[in-house]
Amino acid sequence: MTLVWIEEVAVANLAALAAGSFLAYAGVFPNIDYRMVLLGAMGIAFILQMVYDFVIFPYMLSSMKHLPKVKGRLNVVKTLFETPRGKSALHWLRTVPNDGLIAFDYLPKQTYLMATNHQALLDIMSTRTYDFEKPWRFRDFLARIIGFGLILSEGDPHKAQRKAVNPSFNVKNIRGLYGLMWEKTGIFLDQLETEIRNNPVKTIHGKGEMGRVEMTVWASRLTLDIIGPTAMGRDFQSLTSEENRVADIFLNILEPTWEKLFFLSVNFLLPQWFTTKIPWHLNKMINDDVGYLRSLCHEIVQEKRFSFKGKNIEKSPLETDILGTMIVRGEFSDSELVDQMLTFLAAGHETTAGALTMACWMLCLHPHVQTRLREEIRLHIPSADSSITWADLESLPILNGVCQEILRLWPTVPVTIREAMRETEVAGTRIHRGTRIILCPYAINRSPDFWGETANEFIPERWIDVDESGKQTVNHHGGASTNFAQITFLHGQRSCIGKDFSRAELRCAVAGVIGRFAMEMQDPTGDITLSGAVTVKPIEGLHLKMTRVSGW
């Protein structure tokens, strides 16, 4: 129920109250009790309001009445909370004829729309970006965990924050971080070798040492150790620490359990002032864990400010990390800087960790691709100990094809929502204020309209061009006719600012893992279940058998 609907009901009932009071006072119905007149008037007003909301507005007045609809009010819930999230949205996109928008009924005058084509996506993410915002209840809950940083800010505050952070994410700076990413990947590989030795598996072929590894935890630790120095100049060293509270907190908060998914749905349905008072252990866990992270980020902000004292920060940048850049600009309070650090810590490592996990899974399912990728990596990079440049990895066709297919097929955030803050237009349809738009990367990235009949298939070759001489080169379109065919990182002014950073991380991690190890599933007959409150990853974890392949 939207605020607009509540306001209309309130106005109608106040009108009924005034009318009933006037009639009773005027003695129009002298033999009827005042309270009966009042209740009758309110009842009539309520009935008229329901007729307006359920019949007159949706079928006669709404500019969206012509849109094709998916029947059933629970379909919105299904889209947001099913496994894998976005599966039903993909089915509707494939089966419901539409011109860019599909409608769902939810509550009186609360319509959800799903964007399906280039024009609709262009209007929402680029042409009219600031006509749409994340719903307040959604933002209010997530802010408990990641603060009101760049992801959750809207309007002018978002524009200001984006402008302040943009310099840290230009292509030149990202390419300058490949050395750090490759160094951390080397530590990651060494830790995986130790894990293999500690959890050996007997092999029949005898072609190297094999062991069991659960990849999701290691992937999360790797990306945390990369984003720490990059975002705030702090190396958490979670890869080499048996116990690391920062790493454990994120794994705990983002653990993909059904309870956390249910907790998320409760927080979306009910206001925060109420849900935070529910005696639920998850409330205490979030308060304790996020409280620790806030305290840590505040400490780091103070240390960074102190290190700048007495230095001329106007003449040259003193720091290459994001926090240093923002302090130099002098536009943020300590509290705002803490929010930004929470945002970058959470979003900056969990999304890439999820992508690395899915890459390992898909390469286990496609061993021939894994073999070809290993051959390419070893042909161009002598060993994991060799230094590399951005050009070494960005020019490898199979590596880039694999990474692009993973990001296309398995977006870490498969569904997100926007709400129209004013009357606007999408794909030629007038959109009322309060209308909610479902953006579903999982469905769009697999749309046959963009990707053809092979849209659901893992085909790294779609990202590779071959010239007449047979030479392979990287392409960045995958054969699709529009950039909006892949919206893993969204597009436009609200696109993920760290998309190039994430791609660079993924290239380094996949190149390192496949260059050194051969992988297969511990249970080749088993499947994985993807879930999670915001991002998604395997509920059971990703349990691999990994073999050290000699010669690299």
Alpha-carbon distance of 531 to 507, in angstroms, equals 24
Residue 550 CB neighbours (<10 A):
9
Total domains in the fold of the chain: 2
Where is the domain boundary, 61, 82, 110?
61
Q: For position 315, what pLDDT does the model report?
A: 43
Q: What's the alpha-carbon Rg for the chain, to the nearest Å? A: 27
CB atoms within 10 A of CB 7: 10
| pLDDT score of 313 | 56
Do 165 and 56 fall into the same domain?
Answer: no
Per the domain annotation, does 289 fall within a domain?
yes
Residue type, 68: P
What whole-number distance in Å separates Cα of residue 487 and Cα of residue 490? 4
Instruction: Please check if 496 is assigned to a binding site.
Output: yes
Q: Are residues 307 and 166 in the same domain?
A: yes
- For residue 421, being part of any structural domain is answered with no
Residue in the block written with tokens 């009827």: 32
Where does a domain end: 18, 40, 61? 61
Specify if 108 maps to a domain: no
Clarify whether residues 161 and 49 are in a common domain: no
Residue 329 confidence (pLDDT): 78
Give the other-Cβ count within 10 Å of 245's Cβ.
15
My answer on whether 207 and 321 are in the same domain is yes
CATH no. for residue 286? 1.10.630.10
CB 220 within 8 A of CB 537: no
Residue 129: what are its φ and ψ, rounded to 5°? -50, -50
pLDDT (0 to 100) of residue 369 = 97
| Angstrom distance (rounded) from CA 116 to CA 411 | 16
- pTM: predicted TM-score of the whole model, two decimal places: 0.87
Q: Is residue 142 part of a domain?
A: no
In the listed set 42, 61, 80, which residue is the last one of a domain according to the structure?
Answer: 61
Buried b (16+ CB within 10 A) or exposed e, 451-464: beeebeebbbebbb
Whether 260 and 377 map to the same domain: the answer is yes
Task: Compute the half-sphere exposure of residue 372: CA atoms within 13 Å on the CB side of its CA.
Answer: 14
Are both 57 and 159 inside the same structural domain?
Answer: no
- Hey, what are 94's tokens? 């494939």
Give the pLDDT of residue 546: 96
**Based on the domain organization, do 46 and 170 belong to the same domain?**
no
Same domain for 230 and 353, yes or no, is: yes
- Say if residue 179 is in the same domain as residue 322: yes
**47 and 187: one domain?**
no
- For residue 19, the model assigns a pLDDT of 58
Residue 390 pLDDT: 94
Structural domain of residue 25, as residue ranges?
1-61
Per-residue pLDDT in tens (0 to 9) along the chain, 552 residues: 344 444 454 455 555 555 555 555 555 555 556 567 667 777 777 777 777 666 666 666 566 778 898 877 667 777 777 888 899 999 999 999 999 999 987 665 678 899 999 999 999 999 999 999 999 888 998 899 888 889 999 988 899 889 888 888 888 889 999 999 999 999 999 999 999 999 998 765 556 688 999 999 999 999 999 999 998 889 999 999 988 899 899 888 887 777 887 888 888 888 888 899 999 999 999 999 999 999 999 999 999 888 877 666 554 444 568 888 888 877 889 999 999 999 998 888 888 999 999 999 999 999 999 999 999 999 999 998 899 999 999 999 999 999 999 999 999 999 999 999 999 999 999 998 889 999 999 999 999 999 999 999 999 999 999 988 889 999 999 999 999 999 999 999 999 999 999 999 999 999 999 999 999 999 988 788 888 767 888 988 999 999 999 989
Would 45 be classed as within a structural domain? yes
- Would 166 be classed as within a structural domain? yes
Q: What pLDDT shows up at residue 28?
A: 55
Whether 123 is in a domain gets the answer: no
Residue 525 lies in a domain: yes
Q: How many helices (H) and strands (E) does the chain have?
A: 22, 16
Integer angstrom CA distances of residue 202 from 209, 219, 538: 8, 25, 26
Give the C-alpha separation, 222 to 239, whole Å: 6
